[in-house]
Chain A
Amino acid sequence: MENTVVKIDGLVKRYGDLIALDHFSLEIKEGEVFGLLGPNGSGKTTTINCLLSLLSFDKGDIQIFGKEMAPTSYDIKKDIGVIMQNVAVFDELTVYENIDYFCGLYITDKAERKKCVDEAIRFVGLDDFLKFKPKKLSGGLLRRLNIACGIAHKPKLIILDEPTVAVDPQSRNKILEGIQELNAKGATVIYTSHYMEEVEQICTRIAIMDKGKKIAEGTKDQLKRMIKNTETITVEVLGLPEEIVPQVSELPHVYDCRYDGSRLTVCCSGGKHNLIRVLDVLQKNDLSFGRVYTELPTLNDVFLEITGKALRDKED
């Protein structure tokens, strides 16, 4: 955690009347896997595009590798690898030609480039598809191609904008492992997603954004400590008498208790032995129950508590 790789300061970006980024600031240190988490339309892609000088912005300051970023900062750009949210490859070129093209935008030496391209292909496991056109690839393979195009030149800073959209769980895991491997080799990673599980799994530090604003930042434990929920207990129980819910609510550390006809949900804030106390109440009232489970808070709970809405729609 020494050098600052990316520093965004008070970034404001408007699209007409819409304020896409509202005084957004961020600092990313070397070696981090930094997660940018936010629901659809919260401004993740806009942040990335401003960071890369692809978009002009209204206010703010952006530094990468300690230098001011500008459209002509080719010395900065040469060390950045970009994996766009929309797969950006030539439909007319084969898998190999695509990787070679994008790698060649950075590396002009032929022999060196060939080495890099071959390595990238092995890294994403596209060896069997070199002669394929992108249209012939499945969604997961296409995403892997997109990644290979972004990392072949061995960048020090890798920016991935939702690289796992429309990817099956197996491919997704492979991609996440790959990112961690790149990080282990020394790359700093910026990872945007609206899948909190992914971000929780790989990111060392996370910023949560909503409507162009940063609403929380820290390691996942820090984030979870920010909210009062520490444990959610669920008990499957049928025909719960009405007077039980108030009894449970009165237990220490419990701040919310609900019953929906088949499940009793108890939210606790801090303390120990919460589960035992809840089950105790049920036993004393001679109630039999089915499955019991407790959950630690997720980033969704963090988001829910801060913004009052779920991070993403259920069907996502």
Chain B
Amino acid sequence: MQVFKAFMKVLRTRLSSVLPYIIVFLIISVMMSTMGGADEKFTATEMTVCIFDEDDTPESRALAELIAKDNELVELENDDDVILDSLYYTSVDMVLTISKGYSERLAAGETEGLLTTKHIHDSFAVAYMDQLLSEYVVTVDSYMAAGQDLSEAIASTERTLSQETEVTVVSEETMSNSEYFSNYFRYLPYIIISVMLNGLCPVLMVMARKDLRYRTNCSSIRLSSVSGQTFLASAAFVGAVWLIFMVAGVILNGGLFSGRAWLAVLNSLIFSLVAAFTAILVSSFDVSDNVVSLITQIIGLGMSFLCGIFVPMEMLSSGVLTAARFLPAYWYVRANNMISGVEAFSGRDVMLFMGIELAFALALAVITLLIRRMKYNRAESVTA
């Protein structure tokens, strides 16, 4: 295990440039977790909603009133351009159209296609409102199925939903706890990629130094053994870094992860792989230490700003977000947003996003192989 041992010894000399990232991140996380609990209180997410009531019956007006209780209603000209502009410039968050025949169809027990909503920017509030509306219709329907007439059913539903809102408030409060927690996972990719680029990358560059590679190739150690030990050592480093963050996460969380948080754990492991392969790719270029640290900054900060790590995605322009799709961190953040409830959760989408991250890792590995092959062929070395 000579190569493995040498790898670790070289790594030890690089720890000084890696530990600050880890320590500062953990300190900030601790600070956020101790302050977070006291300060964060639930504030009802108020939206600006424009309602076009095409039905204009007591029933449809009852629904509009219910919405008006917790949200601000605005009037808009019923024109597609105006609506789109308003949505785009967020002077209105959501446009709700109550279809003609709403009350009749509701009375007939229909629940589909009664209400249409339009929105551009995804947010938790929008998702919540969508859910509330469909719940409203379904609840009215079930009260009628239980024998109440339409106006009774609407009154009961309003009562039920306002009770549920209180329940929601409670669960909202635990959400804010997990919101802190989602912050932990949100900033994690920046730290992981910084640690990989500052820690793993320089070590790999030393191990691949041409004179050392030549010298090692002269010896009787098998090439497969050299690669195997290098791989093992890299994997140990990546695993250890990830484990440190997970253990820290458990400690800060005040207990083992539960439920969807495990998905966040998986997501961070997958991103660690992406980060490791990024570091391996960068290490394949013959560049000086200074250039590497420049590349490191560009990749670390660039990804973090573009992909919603430092700035929430809601605040990024659609152009930036489109570009960010070509970066793996974007998919990490999307998955993390769903897991932590910033976006409406969809298990399939979360899996898809993680799959895309894995595809990035694979692509990086392939590019690395091609570059190394080209490089060693150019050096006309047969033992590369």
Contacts and interface: CB of A to CB of B under 8 A. Distances in A.
A15 B381 CA distance: 12
B2 interface: yes
A53 interface: yes
Interface string A205-239: 00000000000000000000000000000000000
Contacts of A49: 214
B6 A52 contact: no
Of B5, B214, B219, B381, most buried by chain A (CB within 10 Å of CB) is B219
B13 A92 contact: yes
Contacts of A275: none
Contact of A105 (B206, B220, B380, B382): B220
Contact of A92 (B206, B218, B219): B206
A16 to B, nearest CB: 10
Contacts of B382: 53-56, 71
A61 interface: no
B220 A77 contact: yes
Interface string A86-106: 111111110001000110111
Given A54-B381, A90-B206, A71 B211 contact: no
B163 interface: no
B215 to A, nearest CB: 4
A93 B221 contact: no
B237 to A, nearest CB: 15
A97 B9 contact: yes
Given A101-B2, A101-B6, A88 B219 contact: no
Contacts of B380: 15, 55-56
Nearest to A105: B219
B362 interface: no
Contacts of B12: 92
Of A74, A88, A97, most buried by chain B (CB within 10 Å of CB) is A88
A52 B218 contact: yes
Contacts of B223: 71-72
B10 A90 contact: yes
B136 to A, nearest CB: 66
Given A77-B219, A101-B5, A105-B2, A56 B381 contact: yes
A102 to B, nearest CB: 7
Interface string B201-216: 0000010000110111
The prevalent SS among residues of B at the interface is helix
Contacts of A72: 222-223
A253 interface: no
Given A77-B220, A101-B5, A88 B211 contact: yes
A311 to B, nearest CB: 26
Interface string B9-28: 11011000000000000000
A80 interface: yes
B132 to A, nearest CB: 60
Contacts of B91: none
A84 interface: yes
B217 interface: yes
Contacts of B9: 90, 92-93, 97
Given A54-B383, A101-B2, A93 B10 contact: yes
A106 B214 contact: no
B212 A53 contact: no
Contacts of A54: 214, 217-218, 381-383
Of A53, A101, A106, most buried by chain B (CB within 10 Å of CB) is A101
A62 interface: no
Interface residues of B, number: 24
Interface string A19-63: 000000000000000000000000000000100111110000000
Interface in B207-247: 211-212, 214-223
Given A74-B222, A101-B2, A104-B2, A92 B10 contact: yes
A104 B9 CA distance: 15
A78 interface: yes
A151 interface: no
A101 B6 CA distance: 7
A71 B214 contact: no
A302 interface: no
Nearest to B225: A105
A129 to B, nearest CB: 17
Of A54, A84, A90, most buried by chain B (CB within 10 Å of CB) is A54
A12 interface: no
A74 B381 CA distance: 17
B218 A77 contact: yes
Contacts of A102: 215, 219
A105 B221 contact: yes
Interface in B366-384: 380-383
Given A56-B382, A102-B215, A78 B6 contact: no
B212 A71 contact: no
B298 to A, nearest CB: 26
Nearest to B226: A105
B217 A84 contact: no
Contacts of B381: 54-56
Of A49, A91, A92, most buried by chain B (CB within 10 Å of CB) is A92
Nearest to B214: A54
Given A54-B381, A77-B218, A106-B219, A93 B211 contact: no
A11 interface: no
A80 B215 CA distance: 11
A82 interface: yes
A35 B41 CA distance: 83
8 contacts: A54-B382, A71-B223, A74-B222, A77-B220, A78-B220, A82-B218, A89-B212, A105-B2
Closest 5 CB pairs of A and B: A78-B220, A105-B219, A104-B2, A88-B211, A88-B215
Given A56-B381, A71-B382, A97-B6, 10 more contacts: A15-B380, A52-B218, A77-B219, A82-B218, A88-B215, A90-B212, A92-B12, A102-B219, A105-B220, A106-B221
